Structure 1
Amino acid sequence: MPFRLYKSTNSQVPSTDAELVELSRSIEAACVQGTPKKFVKCFAIGTDSSTGTIVSVEIHAGCHDAPRNIDLHIEDYVDQRSREVYVGSYNISSTGACIREWPLSSGQEEPYHFSVYAAPAYSKSSESLPTNIGFSLIPHCQSAHSIDWSFKGNILVAKSYHADECLVDVEEADIYFIKRLVYSFLSRRERWADHPLASVEARPAWGLAIMVPYVDWRSLHILRLFRLASPVAIRREVKRRIYEVLSKFLPNLGDLDKFFDFLFKTRSVIVGSVVRKILLLNSCNDSALDVPYDLNIISPPAGETIDEEFHNFLRGVGYSRFDDRKPRKDYGGLLRSFVEMHSDNPDQSQPITISASRKDIMEVVLASETTAQMNILTGMSIVSLYPKLVSTNECLSVPRVGVADAKRTSSPLVTRYTDNAHWTRPCGSYCPATIRKTVGDRGSFRYMWCQRERREMEIWALGNRFPHVTISDRHTFDPDCALRRGVLAWSLHDCCRNPFCEYFVSN
């Protein structure tokens, strides 16, 4: 599992006040050394709890300086999918909600925000959990029989300061308010999506127009910080690079314009070698990938209608030959279908593939075999989860949980490593053993290369997951958006082999 100071041996979460206190002491003892503090005080209501109690919750490694409500190992106290997934991605948006206003929906923001965590609602696994008796003992709650099934399992509450959303300790004086807040929130059956755990602020992109055609992506990213030229120049250059690479598949400029309009309309994304080639342009490794092998598209879980529309569009631009192929087993059922389309032009040998996702596009991306494939191009943005590895033309292979003998391969043009033992500097945000999130992520690079007329469209393909976007705006978007699946968390490996990293684990 990802790096932790407290090594849990419990297969189940505690239920009584005594068990909660015992676990809290164990976590605090494991995390007490050094600064900054590695744990935060929260309030827990167990299924067999009489009053609830304040407990210590471990903070995710790498997030100790300014922990947020998505940086907690809540799985020690609350039944969550993260207890079962040690390496890979899992959705953390359904694990809780952040209450920022009181009374609810009053528009009056509190000086402190309170995040409520519970077992995922509408989950089959939640149905088997015991009813939370402690919740029934909260004032105004009549009896355990009045509790909805979605309030089964333990409840955990964290406190954060509204100015920077950093976590602070829950105190005894907060308990009276917390109990009533929890009862009011859960009894109203509020949509947790309307009270998202995390939010980030927007940042503009700037650059030096005279230099942009000649620099690599790292330098281009630095130039964005200079307020000496219009951001239009950088955006124009990025679009030129994108069109240059994709012209190998769609040589007609008009077809490319229609393609990105269609990509935007269907909320699909491009991944794989095409995006990596765009990021390698003007770099010292530019020649490492002359022509991408294929154009990989991932479509959203919107059903067969979108799939057929995409197929018809590609047929219209000269890709009429297609083969239905079986999705690879190492994607673990994340795909509905996999289609390979070939051009009618005999000189165009590179195919276009369409992977239809079942749930969430980002889950498919994070299930990639190597970090070299964790680069995404949408109709508006380009994203790289491991940009430093792209620039050095290397990648880390990713083991797949629950897939026996899943073979991991990569392009021979990319140097592939099974671990990061060769790294010569601290990992920082790239440590493969720590948990990263798709909102407020410190290690990813994102640039919006195309601005649409409507500001709402910012969230479309990545589900409002990365910096420059306010996740709380999600409810203002199209109600039928199939990609609004919340926040994902992931880690690559179960241990870090970099001897310069603070989370290093020897063989």
Structure 2
Amino acid sequence: MAPSRTRSPSRRCGESVGSIPRPHPMFPNGVRRSARLVNAVNESRRHRQLRAETLQKIYSQQTFMGPILHKMNFETLMSFAATSRLATAMVQGEIKARLQRRLEKFIHRKDFARFMEELERHEGAIVGSTAYSLFAYGIPWSDSFYRRHMVPYNEVQPRDLNVVVPGEQAVPFIKALEGFGYRVRGTDIPREPYFGWAMLMATMVHSESRAEITVTYSRSNVTAVVLSSTNTYQMNMITASRLYCWWPELAYRNEGFQVDNRNRRMMPWNQNPMVDVFVNNSHWLNPCGMKCLAISRVTANDHRIGVFHYKGTGWTDDVVIADRDLDPLLQDRALCLRVRAECRNFYCSGWRPFHKRVW
């Protein structure tokens, strides 16, 4: 008798006859997944693996580069951040750490993220010596020209934290600060030369540490208060997502500074004119862009012949405090940090003759 040609039920490797077949890992319900879904799952796994590898790389590089980044001044940090995305992430972490260290006198580290959220919600900004000290922090390299111009970090010791908010946001922001342990001690009307667009200044004191926060009410927005100030420190500003530094520049090329160059010992040999005309005030800036007494609304020897408005090029667009795209202050064309290759203020003690003219 011929053997039967009927097929026996298929079984997987390792299964005995009569056992219940186990579902395949790719088909748990016995239904074949589409190729698109399988590719999506694999792509998600690859992304998670790549993210883990990137974080591990950042951690290992941060462990090696941490002491080096800690000694860099702000200009060197920005130059390093422009090299790669990994460097940008490392610089972001360094800036956050520096800002936390500067604010820990006023805000506890565990409340830092919540304080920055309140600052963004009420469209406020940190100004004054606290903001300036973040830019001034760092030790330049020993063979660098900037060592002779950089302001020592230890010389900047903020007495209080200056915060500027729009007038309609002042009361809600003060109530938010009460959640951090601050109480209002008193209010004062600011002097006109100090804050031209400020309505009121409220002083708040911490109940335990006795740290002070000064909240300034603005008649308009934050940038209007900063640009109307005659204090050099007020030209640096920190929001929840950006770092800013302003400087004045002449509006028209037919007007300029008239600088008396009769002191021949301080000027290069190839400069014959007794009076130089500059179309902007970049020659008044230190290489760090800060701590120059000439950065005021009326600079030395300009005889008030210049018409100013505030503009410049963005330099720190890629390095932000938080990953946010929208910032209400960007509508006012706020400017970022500007760094000059050499100092052009020959009234400065660290001035040296320059070789390239700025016209």
TM-score normalised according to structure 2 size:
0.56
Work out which of the residue numbers 194, 213, 238 in structure 2 matches 1:377: 238
1:396 aligned to 2:294? yes
1:279 aligned to 2:135? yes
1:244 aligned to 2:101? yes
Cα gap change, 1:333 to 1:384, in 2 (>3 Å) = closer
- The amino acid across from 2:214 in the alignment is T
1:55-90 per-position Cα deviation (integer Å, ceiling 9, x unaligned): xxxxxxxxxxxxxxxxxxxxxxxxxxxxxxxxxxxx
Given that 2:201 and 2:217 are in contact with CA atoms closer than 8 Å, whether structure 1 keeps it comes out as yes
2:296 aligns to what SS in structure 1? coil
1:449 aligned to 2:320? yes
Given that 1:340 and 1:351 are in contact with CA atoms closer than 8 Å, whether structure 2 keeps it comes out as yes
Cα gap change, 1:467 to 1:341, in 2 (>3 Å) = closer
| Residue correspondence of structure 1 range 268-417 to structure 2 within 5 A | 268-283=124-139, 284-301=150-167, 303=168, 306-330=169-193, 334-345=197-208, 347-348=209-210, 350-385=211-246, 388=286, 390=288, 393-396=291-294, 398-399=296-297
- The amino acid across from 2:122 in the alignment is T
Paired residue total: 232
Work out which of the residue numbers 116, 119, 125 in structure 2 matches 1:260: 116
1:82-113 per-position Cα deviation (integer Å, ceiling 9, x unaligned): xxxxxxxxxxxxxxxxxxxxxxxxxxxxxxxx
TM-score normalised according to structure 1 size:
0.40
> 1:111 maps to which residue?
none
1:325-380 per-position Cα deviation (integer Å, ceiling 9, x unaligned): 012122575122211111212x53x4211111111321211112233320000000
* Whole-angstrom CA distance in 2 between matches of 1:467 and 1:503: 20
1:296-350 per-position Cα deviation (integer Å, ceiling 9, x unaligned): 111024x2xx2221111212212114211012122575122211111212x53x4
* Whole-angstrom CA distance in 2 between matches of 1:388 and 1:445: 18
1:245 aligns to what SS in structure 2? helix
1:398-427 per-position Cα deviation (integer Å, ceiling 9, x unaligned): 358xxxxxxxxxxxxxxxxx5289xxxxxx
Q: Could you tell me how far 1:437 is from its partner in structure 2?
A: 3.5
Given that 1:335 and 1:355 are in contact with CA atoms closer than 8 Å, whether structure 2 keeps it comes out as yes
| Identical-residue share of aligned pairs (%) | 21
| Residue correspondence of structure 1 range 86-101 to structure 2 within 5 A | none
* Whole-angstrom CA distance in 2 between matches of 1:325 and 1:389: 36
Alignment RMSD: 3.5
> 2:341 maps to which residue?
none
- Point out the structure with max Rg over C-alpha: 2
* Whole-angstrom CA distance in 2 between matches of 1:290 and 1:213: 17
* Whole-angstrom CA distance in 2 between matches of 1:336 and 1:392: 27
* Whole-angstrom CA distance in 1 between matches of 2:175 and 2:295: 35
Cα gap change, 1:435 to 1:224, in 2 (>3 Å) = farther
Given that 1:397 and 1:419 are in contact with CA atoms closer than 8 Å, whether structure 2 keeps it comes out as no
- The amino acid across from 1:343 in the alignment is H
Given that 1:384 and 1:444 are in contact with CA atoms closer than 8 Å, whether structure 2 keeps it comes out as no
1:225 aligned to 2:91? no
Given that 1:270 and 1:298 are in contact with CA atoms closer than 8 Å, whether structure 2 keeps it comes out as yes
1:251-288 per-position Cα deviation (integer Å, ceiling 9, x unaligned): x2222211100001111111110011111111353344
Given that 1:321 and 1:344 are in contact with CA atoms closer than 8 Å, whether structure 2 keeps it comes out as no
Q: Gapped runs of 5+ residues in structure 1?
A: 1-207, 401-417, 422-431, 469-495
1:406-465 per-position Cα deviation (integer Å, ceiling 9, x unaligned): xxxxxxxxxxxx5289xxxxxxxxxx9464444xx1387566423345x3x2x3234251
* Whole-angstrom CA distance in 2 between matches of 1:497 and 1:434: 22
Given that 2:125 and 2:238 are in contact with CA atoms closer than 8 Å, whether structure 1 keeps it comes out as yes
Given that 1:380 and 1:449 are in contact with CA atoms closer than 8 Å, whether structure 2 keeps it comes out as yes
Larger relative helix fraction: 2
